[in-house]
Amino acid sequence: MTSGPAENLASGESPDTRELEEARPQFISIPPETILNGQKAPFDLYVIIGSKQVRVFKQGEPLERERFERYLEKGDEALMARVDGIDSFFETGIVEMLAQAADQSLGPAVRARGAVRALEFAGLDLFLFGFDRDNFFTKVDRVHQILQVTLGLIQEDRTRPYLIASRQTEKMPNSVMQMVGATLIGGALLHKLQSVPIPTFQSFLLATYFRDISLMKNGISDRPSYDMHPEASMRIMEGYPAITEQFRLVVQQHHESPGGSGFPKGLRGLDIFLLAKIPLAAEKLTELLKLTDLSPSDETDILEDIALERFSRDSGISPVHRMRELLREAREAQRMRTVRTRA
């Protein structure tokens, strides 16, 4: 029997236990607005029409929007690139997106989109190409830098909902979606639940992004058993200069649950660091945001389940209220984005 996302959420099953190994795509989508700039195509670009890939731009041809738009009626709205031809794109693409995120003259929705794309591309790079001892800390540095820019956006009330609404969830592999979704939604939730110093906030975001890194393809360690992946992720990150005690606790305890049913240690209640309870709650909110036909009472039931499983008896915070507020803001930003795109 299969169950829908709502049932999985309600049953308390973590979404990331369902897929241990994902198929690596041959093609990935490149958001058109990040590349259609009139300059030369860095690699061949395609659209998918039916089951075929049709080449729109040959490497070296100018990336003109009009040409892409002629294919839009027949095909998908994204441009596709062959995974084996794009490795250098991540470097330049991320730098451009980061510049967009940091540009104070741009509106909040545009800056948010730059930040989200940069985080998604950094995640996609880890997912597609993996990492080894020689390049891992360079890849972590890149995410750290993106998060330093994103921190300001997450703390800015006007931008935060757009960050959540901008995620291209349907076009990303699940593991990348969970990295980015839990980091951004987790950051927003932390902001609502508790006021913490900026370095703690940074540690939280970085730890949330890399919490499952040991489950990705890499040349540093073998794939751990699922219930040892928090410890294995921490071992891979060990030695990175920005690691703090808060970082360590978030990575090691992100699957612990106040009722004692979590892993790897089965810690209980207040023995679990509050910030470590947030990433999995955020993963569930990520799933919840994808559901468009949920009644308010079903939503309340699910939020109460999440609160009970993740935060039970934590005093001084009201997670259901905060999570509901966050969903409302993100849905509002999603609606505004849809209206603007259609106009």
Binding site for Fe ion (CB under 5 A): 212
Nearer to Fe ion, 212 or 256 (CB): 212
Nearer to Fe ion, 107 or 260 (CB): 260
Contacts of 230 (CB under 8 A, 6+ apart): 211, 251, 252, 253, 254, 255, 263, 264
Nearer to Fe ion, 212 or 287 (CB): 212
Nearer to Fe ion, 19 or 87 (CB): 19
Nearer to Fe ion, 212 or 309 (CB): 212
Minimum distance of Fe ion from residue 271's CB (angstroms): 19
Contact 261, 144 (CB under 8 A): no
Q: Which residue has the tokens 């990175």?
A: 240
Minimum distance of Fe ion from residue 256's CB (angstroms): 11
Contact 173, 216 (CB under 8 A): no
3 state SS for 323-341: HHHHHHHHHHHHHHHHHHH
Q: What are the DSSP calls for 250-277, one per residue?
A: HHHHTT--TTTT-SSS---GGGS-GGGG
Minimum distance of Fe ion from residue 48's CB (angstroms): 32
Minimum distance of Fe ion from residue 343's CB (angstroms): 40
Helix, strand, coil share (%) of the chain residues, nearest 5: 60, 5, 35
Minimum distance of Fe ion from residue 195's CB (angstroms): 26
